[in-house]
Amino acid sequence: MKNIMKIFLLLTMFLLVSCGGAKEEAKTEDGNEPAKTEQKAEGQAEIAIVLKTLSNPFWVEMKEGIEKEAAAQGIKVDIIAASSEEDVQEQLRLIENLLSKGYKAIGIAPLSPVNTIPAIVEANKKGIYVVNIDEKVDMEQLKKSGGSVLAFVTTDNVKVGAKGAEYIIGKLPEGGEVAIIEGKSGNASGEFRRQGATEAFKADSKFKLVASQPADWDRSKALDVAANLIQKYPNLKAIYACNDTMALGAVQAVANAGKTGQILVVGTDGAPEARTSIDEGKLNATVAQDPAMIGATSLKILIEAIKDKPQISPDIEAKEVPVESNLISK
């Protein structure tokens, strides 16, 4: 009987130990807090990027470049955009809404040099890193407001405008009358392109810049502007447009006037439709930016900021990161 009792006690102890061990192991797996945190982080984007719009191929290409880089880095990024390049208040509201969503870093392509400044300042207060994309924020005003950005990523737009004008100069050794179709008044990237083209034309005495007029980045407006220029200046030899959307409008105006081949048209951005137009012998050239690279570079800087945790201060000057452009012609 004693032997039976001993065996019973040993079996009971064995079962208790076994059950206790199994219970402890389950508790360890279920209570693994780092695993839970990691799983949550994988499902939620820490970075958001606000583009100007997605109705323009340039910004669609930038979005694709960001998404490709995010996939390569194995992260998630949220990309949003305003419905048009006209609504600066809508863009500001979009950014302000992001500030309460738990993002650690935000990329912003502002619609104007000043419209996003209040949101950037608020982001800084919350410890959110900000990178300025394409359109440069008014850095002096931003600093006065107590805000800052880590970096400014864009094409050198003065060089872009100069390249467009230099192509025209090279194609017209005899010189002549030329015109510029600008973007939206007050838009920094457009102003810099206009500046670069203007300086290049004025540096060659054989050329006369007869007009420089805005068309608000819009194709139909550019068609009207170009049609008026062609009528007003019958000896017009070339038009440089500060983006491809407007250049394609100018190409149509030239065709409507029966002057295809007589008036050169050069655009900016390297948009797919512009490249097709070049292949078809309609548009003469475009100065291609690399929006995908601009987007990818911006994302890399935001990722590094989350990792390295640099100081956010209006006293620290933003790093300028230029992305090269190239001329495309037939």
With vertex at residue 291, the alpha carbon angle to CA 129 and CA 157, rounded to the nearest 5 degrees, is 90
Q: In this structure, are 235 and 316 located in the same domain? A: no
Name the pTM for this structure.
0.71
Provide the strand spans (E) within 71-128.
Answer: 77-81, 105-108
| Residues in the chain, overall count | 330
Query: What SS3 state is found at 68?
Result: helix
Phi, psi of 177 (to 5 degrees): -85, 135
Q: In this structure, are 69 and 169 located in the same domain? A: no
Q: In this structure, are 62 and 162 located in the same domain? A: no
Distance, CA of 133 to CA of 320 (rounded, Å): 10
More confident residue, 84 or 147: 147
Q: Is residue 110 within 8 Å of residue 116, measured between CB atoms? A: yes
Terminal Cα distance for the chain, rounded: 104
Q: Count up the domains in the chain and report the number.
A: 2
Q: What is the pLDDT of residue 28?
A: 24
Q: In this structure, are 203 and 91 located in the same domain? A: no
Q: In this structure, are 205 and 280 located in the same domain? A: yes
Q: Is residue 165 within 8 Å of residue 241, measured between CB atoms? A: no
With vertex at residue 108, the alpha carbon angle to CA 104 and CA 114, rounded to the nearest 5 degrees, is 125
Q: What is the pLDDT of residue 86?
A: 86
Interval 190-202: pLDDT, tens: 999 999 999 999 9
Q: Could you tell me the sign of the dihedral formed by the alpha carbons of 292, 226, 205, 235, in that order?
A: positive
Distance, CA of 272 to CA of 278 (rounded, Å): 10
Token code pair at residue 231: 């009528």
pLDDT for residue 176 is more than 70: yes
Which structural domain range is residue 316 located in? 44-149+291-323
Interval 214-273: pLDDT, tens: 999 999 999 999 999 999 999 999 999 999 999 999 999 999 999 999 999 999 999 999
Interval 90-120: pLDDT, tens: 999 999 999 999 999 999 999 999 999 999 9
- Is residue 195 situated within a structural domain? yes
Q: In this structure, are 241 and 216 located in the same domain? A: yes
Cα atoms in the 13 Å half-sphere on the side-chain side of 210: 19
- Is residue 81 situated within a structural domain? yes
Q: In this structure, are 135 and 208 located in the same domain? A: no
Q: What is the pLDDT of residue 267?
A: 98
